[in-house]
Structure 1
Amino acid sequence: MKINPIPANEVERLKELKKYSILDTLSEVEYDSITQLASYICDTPIALVSLIDEERQWFKSSVGIDVSETSRNISFCQYTIMGDDIFEVPNALENDLFAKNPLVTGNPNIRFYAGSPLRTKNGLNMGSLCVIDTKARVLTEQQKKALQLLSNQVVTLLDSRIKHFDFLESQKELQNFIDLSKDLVCIANVNGLFYKVNPAFTTVLGFSKEELEGVPFTNFVHVEDLPSTLNQVEKLSKGELTISFENRFRCKNGQYVTLSWNTSPDPATGNLYCIARNMTKEKAVEQKLIDSNNLLDESQNIAKIGSWKFDLITNDLIWSDGHYRIFELERQPSGQLFESYRSRIHKDDLELLNKTSEIALKTGKNFKIKYRIVLPDQSIKHILEIGQPFTNDNDEVIEIKGIVQDITEITIAEQKIILKSKEINDIRAALDESAIVSISDKKGMLTYVNDNFCSISQYTKEELIGKDQSTITGSLDKDILNTIIKGKVWKGEIKNSSKDGLSYWEKMTIVPFLGENNKPYQYVSISTDITDQKIAEESLNNALADLEKKNRELDEFAYVVSHDLKAPLRAINNLAEWIVEDMPSMPEEVSSNFDLLRGRVLRMENLINGVLEYSRIGRVAIEKETIDMTLMLDQIIDIMVPKLDFEVIIGQNFPTILSERILLEQVFSNLISNAVKYNNKPIGIIECYYESLPDFHQFTVKDNGPGIAEDYHNKVFKVFQTIVARDVKESTGVGLSIVKKIIEEKGGSIRIESKENEGCSFIFTVPK
């Protein structure tokens, strides 16, 4: 039994082979050049770069055969990798190892083989560079030497592949480091443009790489920081190796972040290599600390608090700045201050203040008092004053300290609360008069119902209070329960049953009241009786269904009528044509009259079609579709505008919109057709323009024709109205009325800008 050779270092050899990551890769010109050269030097029709893995030999490059691999157990190269020198088989038919090999007995009919092992610097054979012939032969020493040199070149290529992979891996690691960095890393070129940015740029600024790379970095710098930023960059041009500075950068959402930059230039290219750290949070913390200090300084002012001290031994009265602000007094000496202070006290409160002060001086107890002061403009402030007496060793009061607070807003708010309470009670009374009101606890048990609830349900309060409403007047569906249990307001219509079994409808709002745990503790239901309204809606729906039926019948009637009207017209037209054909030599005046007759018949048929089209506008739903307006206009113009006598100008900014194609085609077809039909110039000019308005698309169709006198600007949109006599220009007078009706049905408008003999512009809008 034949045993296939396995190198002693097979495990290490296969591990080394996998490092190259070359198996099953595409062909490469460097390897193909070597096999071609080996085939040429050794004068063989076949040359291969063969790599041996566990089960196969795979050809990285081949000359003379089409297969990409063979099984390892029939390969010649498996013997080549067993040694260090060239393995040569002069005649395979005479060799016991290969005489019965299918590669010898069959295609490609190998007779001669010579292979040089692909030996790495670690002494491991990856495969071979081999040459094959279909006839027996031997290589010369020069050919063997060349084959060895070429196999060494293959190994060099393999080693360079690993080095390339190592370089790519290091580049990848560096790129990963940059990509994963939370700092903003970029390269700016000599023109001041972002050349490369890392993902942190898109994370912090919100712009994509495409929106940043190739754009001047100055576009993003806050306008107030731009001069200092340019000044810093200028330092680099003067030889400084590194600069550090801060500026504000604009984000895509319009906000700014504060960035701290470290920047160095590349002496060779002049590119700037920059790293920035987002300091927005740090700046915010810093500003917060500043604000906290300011807040502490201003807290008394914000709280409208002032402090005071009165020395009973020296009779000195001292006020803080806040005290002066509250009483709106200028700073003054102690003796004068006491009199000014007393003059501000409301006369009705002065006696109470005096008594409170006397008690504090006698007892040494703290006091609290509310009083009013009257300012020079007669406005009133409400003051809360708290005082604390201080005594000596003999329990004699020698000093009083205290604070005052302007509680005007609090007092007014309390007064408003009292008024609001009364207002709430009045509202409740009003609701009881006009609405159906009930209150349920968190379990759905009724705790309150008003008289209207009892009246519509026909239950007494005794029959309702403490009961589950859903078991009395009708159950609440799961959607309602799921909504209100989550603490959300539910609004809608609900059908209930009264005590006598009759149904009634309510338009209801259920408001959950939430407790401290943010869960409902009760539900307030306010509703109105809409039974009559629901009955009316049902009647209206029936009427609408009947109307729809009538419209269908009207359409059918219109079709029948138009068919019956057009049938005799066609007969008249055919008869006139037959008479003309049968009497080719009739007088010119008679022939002209027949032409006039056929024209009137055609006008009548167009008029019938126009009236039908006008009647259908707004009654037939048309599905919207995406319309390339430029393409649609090109198609209409191609059909309707003569190429020799007209010049057409279409604006460059026509959009793609979502609308009813057939309606817009009718509008533009009518307007362009009229511009052609009524033009009286040797070369007609038709211009189409577009303008985007906030909520509308605006289109303009302009011509250089005879224009329309101002008196006719409104008349031309009426059915059957024409400016030019029908004997001069054939017209039904329906086209512009169709245009106006289509546009107005869509919610747009149309107007004319024209003077007689100065051309005409039709300007119309359709909603976006």
Structure 2
Amino acid sequence: MSNVDIEIFKRALQREKIARKQAEKILEDKSKELYLLTQELKKTNQKLEDLVGKKESTLQGVFDNLVDAYVLIDVSGNVLEMNHAAKKLFGYDITKEKLNVIKLVYKEDYQYAIQSFQQLVTKGSFSGYKSRVYTKNNGVRNVHINASLIKNKKGKPIGAQGIITDITEKLEQTRIFEEQKQQLSTIVDNSSLGIALTQSGKIVQTNKALQNLLEYPQEELLQKEIKDISLKNEYAVSENHMEKMNAGLIDNFSINKQYVKKNNSTFWAKTNVAAVRNPDGSIKYQVALIEDITEQLESEKQKEKLLEDLERTNQDLKDYAHIVSHDLKSPLRSIYALVNWIKEDYSSAFDKIGLNHLAMIEKTLEKMETLINDILSYSSVNNKEELQSSKIDLNTLVDDLKNIVLIPENTIVSTKKKLPVINGDSTRIQQLFQNLIGNAVIYMDKENGVVEIDYEDKKTHYQFSIKDNGIGIKKEYHEKIFKMFESVGDNENSSGIGLAIVKKIVTLYEGDIWLDSTPGIGTTFYFTLKK
């Protein structure tokens, strides 16, 4: 080998070494680049895995917390997955027991279920399926189902999924609502009151009673407004109330107004109007209850006239009683004076029998004057204008009566306990107690007479009792004795008016009077006076 060849060989080796180093450098750089790329891919993959994990967790959370039940089945109907709502609805846990949807289908709805499943297979989905299902713990439930078919990449069905909503309560509420609506409709249709539903013054619904009152058929009334069936001068009053209602100032009002019938005649009616509002407070519609009060108003007018006539008649009777009593008293006094003159001037001319006859005349005159005075008292008892109310200590009043009423020595009048202080007209209250105590004394037939006064404090009244051990009163007289000129026996000191006056006074003070009596043993009069 020549030197030239050797030199060429050396240069070739040198070039090869340089090329190898360059190749190694390139390989090293590419390896480093590949390593860095691999590390970046690893980071990216980790991020993707984390993101997928989060998405899966989120979807699982959504799945588990769906309000409605979610069920996943295979093509044979075996349940593969259920969310919490589905487990709660159907009562099954597929991790512990197998479940096929056929087990849930209500037997009477089986054919409908098959038809819906065929629709699912042929069309890929169905919606609006409503049926009944069996549950493990909740009995039979009504459900609404939307379902769709699941296919693989080749388009072959591998299962189905469905969202199931329990509509049992909703259907029950709807049933109850419809039932109540029907009941309300029946009540409205059969009500004796006229009922109208209005919107912005226009009639939108009426019942039969209102149609009869106005003598319009339903279809004609629905073409009218409230102002069309109202008198113009009266519509303004109700319109003013309606403006307040629209402004939210009032929710209801009541007025008496006249309505115009189809034949243009009118009638008076009491009208109650109530607003039914939307959630925002605006008026949805108004409900008007219309009651014909024409006869009632006429009756009230007649009643007022009767009361006026009665008041006038009562006053005439009082005036007549005073006139008659005055005309009667005058000749009585004259007769009494003549008897006294005869006794004074001619007493020596009369024997014992004659003087006795004069004494009988005097007693008769006294009884006649007592009778006239009692009639005057009876006629004036109801005159409330003459009443002067004041505090009356009944203990003092009873003590005073012991000195006024002639009480025999063998009779004791007492109070069982301290009596109350009441408000009333002293003259009337004195008449009341005086007549009852006087009656007890007059009809006393026992050697040791006892008259006992007592009372009980009731909620709104005082209840008094006056008990004696006198002759007693038979049952058949218990009502009669409170009437004019009705008395027990023929006691010369009784006018037969005293108890009638007592009853009028008790009635004046919004009380009642009654008695308990046993003939031969005694009588207890009970009466109440309003506080």
TM-score bracket relative to the smaller structure: 0.5 to 0.7
| Residues 628-676 of structure 1 deviation map (CA, whole Å, 9 limit, x = unaligned) | 4545644554544659652412434x55555555443332221122223
- Per the TM alignment, residue 701 of structure 1 is displaced from its structure 2 partner at its CA by 1.2
The reply on whether 1:670 has 2:431 as its aligned counterpart is no
Change in Cα spacing, 1:474 to 1:404, as seen in structure 2 (3 Å) is closer
Q: Distance in 1 between matches of 2:486 and 2:142?
A: 81
Residue 158 (structure 2) aligns with: 396
State which of 107, 113, 116 in structure 2 corresponds to 1:356.
Answer: 116
Q: Determine if contact 2:321/2:379 at 8 Å carries over to the other structure.
A: no
Structural RMSD (CA)? 5.1
Q: Determine if contact 2:513/2:525 at 8 Å carries over to the other structure.
A: yes
Q: Distance in 2 between matches of 1:530 and 1:373?
A: 58
TM-score scaled by structure 1?
Answer: 0.47
Q: Determine if contact 1:514/1:521 at 8 Å carries over to the other structure.
A: yes
Change in Cα spacing, 1:466 to 1:689, as seen in structure 2 (3 Å) is closer
Mapping for residues 2-401 of structure 1, pairs under 5 Å = 312=74, 315=78, 342=105, 345=106, 347=108, 349-357=109-117, 359=119, 365=125, 369-372=129-132, 383-386=142-145, 396-397=158-159
State which of 599, 602, 609 in structure 1 corresponds to 2:373.
Answer: 609
Q: Determine if contact 1:513/1:521 at 8 Å carries over to the other structure.
A: yes
Change in Cα spacing, 1:513 to 1:579, as seen in structure 2 (3 Å) is same
Q: What amino acid is the match of 1:371?
A: S
Q: Distance in 2 between matches of 1:416 and 1:462?
A: 26
Residue 763 (structure 1) aligns with: 526
Residue 344 (structure 2) aligns with: 581
Change in Cα spacing, 1:713 to 1:583, as seen in structure 2 (3 Å) is same
- Per the TM alignment, residue 410 of structure 1 is displaced from its structure 2 partner at its CA by 1.8
Residue 595 (structure 1) aligns with: 359
Q: Distance in 1 between matches of 2:181 and 2:262?
A: 40
SS across alignment from 2:484: coil
State which of 436, 449, 454 in structure 2 corresponds to 1:689.
Answer: 454
Q: Determine if contact 2:463/2:527 at 8 Å carries over to the other structure.
A: yes
- Per the TM alignment, residue 697 of structure 1 is displaced from its structure 2 partner at its CA by 3.0
Residue 699 (structure 1) aligns with: 464
Change in Cα spacing, 1:406 to 1:447, as seen in structure 2 (3 Å) is closer
- Per the TM alignment, residue 563 of structure 1 is displaced from its structure 2 partner at its CA by 1.6
Mind listing any 5+ residue stretches in structure 1 that lack a counterpart?
A: 1-304
Q: Determine if contact 2:134/2:141 at 8 Å carries over to the other structure.
A: no
Residue 748 (structure 1) aligns with: 511
Moved more, 551-560 or 744-753: 744-753
SS across alignment from 1:646: strand
Change in Cα spacing, 1:562 to 1:350, as seen in structure 2 (3 Å) is farther
SS across alignment from 2:234: coil
Moved more, 497-506 or 713-722: 497-506
Residue 508 (structure 1) aligns with: 271
SS across alignment from 2:374: helix
Mind listing any 5+ residue stretches in structure 2 that lack a counterpart?
A: 1-66
Change in Cα spacing, 1:697 to 1:306, as seen in structure 2 (3 Å) is farther
| Residues 35-85 of structure 1 deviation map (CA, whole Å, 9 limit, x = unaligned) | xxxxxxxxxxxxxxxxxxxxxxxxxxxxxxxxxxxxxxxxxxxxxxxxxxx
The reply on whether 1:651 has 2:417 as its aligned counterpart is yes
Q: Distance in 1 between matches of 2:309 and 2:427?
A: 28
Residue 131 (structure 1) aligns with: none
Q: What amino acid is the match of 2:336?
A: N
Q: What amino acid is the match of 1:651?
A: K
- Per the TM alignment, residue 691 of structure 1 is displaced from its structure 2 partner at its CA by 2.0
Q: What amino acid is the match of 2:369?
A: E
Mapping for residues 725-736 of structure 1, pairs under 5 Å = 725-727=490-492, 730-736=493-499
Residue 490 (structure 1) aligns with: 253
TM-score scaled by structure 2?
Answer: 0.64
- Per the TM alignment, residue 316 of structure 1 is displaced from its structure 2 partner at its CA by 6.5
Change in Cα spacing, 1:476 to 1:511, as seen in structure 2 (3 Å) is farther
Q: Distance in 2 between matches of 1:553 and 1:567?
A: 21
- Per the TM alignment, residue 690 of structure 1 is displaced from its structure 2 partner at its CA by 1.9
Q: Distance in 2 between matches of 1:434 and 1:554?
A: 44
Q: What amino acid is the match of 2:110?
A: L
Q: Determine if contact 1:622/1:660 at 8 Å carries over to the other structure.
A: no
Q: Distance in 1 between matches of 2:115 and 2:510?
A: 77
Q: Determine if contact 1:306/1:405 at 8 Å carries over to the other structure.
A: no
State which of 463, 468, 474 in structure 1 corresponds to 2:234.
Answer: 474
Q: Distance in 1 between matches of 2:371 and 2:161?
A: 107
SS across alignment from 2:255: strand
The reply on whether 1:565 has 2:328 as its aligned counterpart is yes
Q: Distance in 2 between matches of 1:475 and 1:679?
A: 73
Q: Distance in 1 between matches of 2:163 and 2:193?
A: 58
Mapping for residues 413-452 of structure 1, pairs under 5 Å = 413-416=176-179, 419=182, 423=186, 427=189, 435=194, 439=198, 441=200
Change in Cα spacing, 1:337 to 1:468, as seen in structure 2 (3 Å) is same
Q: What amino acid is the match of 1:764?
A: F
SS across alignment from 2:488: coil
Q: Which has the higher contact order (CA 8 A, sep 6+)?
A: 2
Structure with bigger helix share is: 2
Q: Distance in 2 between matches of 1:461 and 1:711?
A: 64
Q: Distance in 2 between matches of 1:402 and 1:445?
A: 45
SS across alignment from 2:472: coil
Q: What amino acid is the match of 1:600?
A: T
Q: Determine if contact 1:391/1:399 at 8 Å carries over to the other structure.
A: yes
- Per the TM alignment, residue 550 of structure 1 is displaced from its structure 2 partner at its CA by 2.9
Q: Determine if contact 1:307/1:322 at 8 Å carries over to the other structure.
A: yes
The reply on whether 1:720 has 2:479 as its aligned counterpart is no
Q: What amino acid is the match of 1:646?
A: I
Change in Cα spacing, 1:566 to 1:446, as seen in structure 2 (3 Å) is same
SS across alignment from 1:689: strand
Q: Determine if contact 1:318/1:334 at 8 Å carries over to the other structure.
A: no
Q: Distance in 2 between matches of 1:501 and 1:413?
A: 43
Q: Determine if contact 1:707/1:756 at 8 Å carries over to the other structure.
A: yes
The reply on whether 1:549 has 2:312 as its aligned counterpart is yes
Count of aligned residue pairs for this structure pair: 442
